[in-house]
Amino acid sequence: MSTSHSGIPRALTIAGSDSGGGAGIQADIKTFSAFGVYGMSAITSVTAQNTVRVAGTHDLPPAFVAEQIDMVAQDMGVDAAKTGMLSNAAIVEAVAASIVRNRIENVVVDPVMIAKSGAALLHASARDALRTLLLPLALIVTPNVPEAEVLTGLRIATFDDMRRAAASVHAFGPRYVLMKGGHLDAEDACDVLFDGETSVVFRAPRIDTPNTHGTGCTYSAAITACLAQGLDAPAAVRRAKEYLTEAIRRALPLGHGHGPLNHLWSNASLRREGR
């Protein structure tokens, strides 16, 4: 649903809260701000986590998640939206219904399943709901290798495997599949954007750093911001990957585990040389 507004692009993130600030809602809002997009949020779950581990999670009631979406969509309008951690089937169902009810287009689905620390962020019982209810509503779905393996049942070890997995995920109904290859053992970080007929490959140099917490959230948020600004899917992915690569290069060495990216690297006060 769209309403009259002052001209600033509006993006909504529907995801979990990360108390460490590197992923989830916090990463998404920082990323939206970096792109000059007005960010709004619907929180699905509250987590207690840092760069080392997820100590606990507390899911919000599905009806309240939906109410958050309804409130911002029906008043402020949404040019693009993304989903992140949805945790359980009831939340997936509530989110999908709200997207339909509010006629939200330009939906990016990041099928968050496992935290960087290894903690499960999507119950196994919710996977079918994700496949059948949410993926058909997506303009772009952005699985990494482990997530695509869960969604498709395929083993992904090569670039050709990535292409096959992208086609398999596309069969669930999204318009585009961005198959991310960061988990593969390759010199470059290569992603494949597949629209059902053709594919576009996006390459970036692999950066040797332990500080990669929130890369998936940040990537999908950057794509969402670009879609809110009016870019088409391939252009949005290209610009988002450029932004993500620099955010990793200038990542912040905070904590004792996987540190966060530097979402605001373009801000002069936060610029850091890559480590």
Based on the residue annotation, tell me whether 212 is a catalytic residue of this protein.
yes
Size of the chain, expressed as the number of residues it contains? 275
Tell me the Cα Rg of the chain. 17
Residue 167 has pLDDT above 80, yes or no: yes
Residue 158: give its domain's CATH number.
Answer: 3.40.1190.20
Based on the residue annotation, tell me whether 215 is a catalytic residue of this protein.
yes
Q: Identify the band that residue 4 occupies on the pLDDT scale cut at 50, 70 and 90.
A: very low
Q: 104 near 78, Cβ under 8 Å? A: yes
Based on the residue annotation, tell me whether 226 is a catalytic residue of this protein.
no
Task: Give the chain's domain count.
Answer: 1
For position 116, what pLDDT does the model report? 57
Q: Which of 44, 47, 57, 215 is catalytic?
A: 215
198 Cβ neighbours under 8 A, 6+ residues apart = none
Residue 221 belongs to some domain of the structure:
yes
Q: Identify the band that residue 100 occupies on the pLDDT scale cut at 50, 70 and 90.
A: very high
Residue 148 belongs to some domain of the structure:
yes
> Which helix (H) or strand (E) segment is 147 a member of?
helix 145-152
Cross-sheet strand order for the sheet of 80-83:
54-59, 38-49, 10-18, 80-83, 107-109, 140-141, 176-180, 188-194, 199-205
Q: Identify the band that residue 274 occupies on the pLDDT scale cut at 50, 70 and 90.
A: very low
Q: Which of 44, 212, 224, 245 is catalytic?
A: 212
Based on the residue annotation, tell me whether 16 is a catalytic residue of this protein.
no
Residue 273 belongs to some domain of the structure:
no
Digit-coded pLDDT (tens) for 47-78: 999 999 989 999 999 999 999 999 999 999 99
Mean pLDDT of 120-128: 78
For position 123, what pLDDT does the model report? 78
Provide the residue type at 160 as one letter: D
For position 273, what pLDDT does the model report? 44
Based on the residue annotation, tell me whether 230 is a catalytic residue of this protein.
no
Residue 251 has pLDDT above 70, yes or no: yes
> Which helix (H) or strand (E) segment is 82 a member of?
strand 80-83
For position 117, what pLDDT does the model report? 53
Residue 275 belongs to some domain of the structure:
no
Q: Which of 13, 217, 241, 259 is catalytic?
A: 217
Residues of the chain with pLDDT > 70, as a percent, come to 91
Residue 178 belongs to some domain of the structure:
yes
Q: Which of 31, 216, 241, 259 is catalytic?
A: 216
| Per-chain mean pLDDT for the chain | 90
Residue 26 has pLDDT above 70, yes or no: yes
Residue 155 belongs to some domain of the structure:
yes
Residue 21 belongs to some domain of the structure:
yes
Residue 269 has pLDDT above 50, yes or no: no
Rounded-to-integer distance, Cα 68 and Cα 56, Å: 23
Q: Which of 22, 181, 214, 259 is catalytic?
A: 214
Mean pLDDT of 125-142: 94
Residue 34 belongs to some domain of the structure:
yes
Rounded-to-integer distance, Cα 193 and Cα 208, Å: 24
DSSP string, 110-143: ----B-TTS-B-B-GGGHHHIIIIIGGG-SEE--
DSSP state of 213: B
208 Cβ neighbours under 8 A, 6+ residues apart = none
* Distance spanning both ends of the chain, measured CA to CA: 43
Q: Which of 31, 180, 190, 245 is catalytic?
A: 180
For position 121, what pLDDT does the model report? 67
Rounded-to-integer distance, Cα 20 and Cα 198, Å: 39
Rounded-to-integer distance, Cα 44 and Cα 53, Å: 19
Enclosing domain of residue 97: 10-264
Digit-coded pLDDT (tens) for 189-221: 889 999 999 999 999 988 888 888 999 999 999
Least confident of 35-44, 138-147, 177-186: 177-186
Q: Identify the band that residue 96 occupies on the pLDDT scale cut at 50, 70 and 90.
A: very high
pTM of the model: 0.92
Based on the residue annotation, tell me whether 214 is a catalytic residue of this protein.
yes
> Which helix (H) or strand (E) segment is 43 a member of?
strand 38-49
